[in-house]
Amino acid sequence: MEDGVIVFMNKKLNSSGFTLVEAVVGGLLLTICSLMLISGFIASLIYVRSGTEIKRKGLEVSSVIEGAVNTNPAITESTTANGILSYQIGSTQYQINGSYLSASETEDNVGFIIFTSNTP
């Protein structure tokens, strides 16, 4: 009885040379690939969106560092007054006092910092 079914299916599906096994394996492969395609495109979209956001935020935060007026509440600014730039020439240590201005957009951790010397 079972042999009869398989023969019937083979005949039914074999009109273009398919066999049941071929159809199942082929279909499975295509399904996996379709899933890969969809998830791949979704991942790509997420990357592109995220990249665009990081780029936009980078431009916005850096313009705050350059002195632009900060109108975006998502960007926080802070000044640290006791900054020190230290360096060595030979074995002698030198220090320049100054302050730091930092601005950051916390959501994507996009932020910059700049040191300004106190020397007039």
Residues that bind another protein (CB under 8 A): 14, 16-19, 22-23, 25-27, 29-30, 32-34, 36-37, 40-41, 43-45, 47-48, 50-52, 54-55, 58, 62, 65, 78, 80, 82-89, 92, 94-96, 98, 100, 102, 104, 110-117, 119-120
CA atoms within 13 A on the CB side of 96: 12
Tokens, residue 111: 């932020």
Closest distance between another protein and the C-beta of residue 91, in Å? 9
Residue with tokens 């996996």: 32
Select 1 or 30, whichever has its Cβ closest to another protein: 30
Cα 42 to Cα 36: distance, rounded to the nearest angstrom: 10
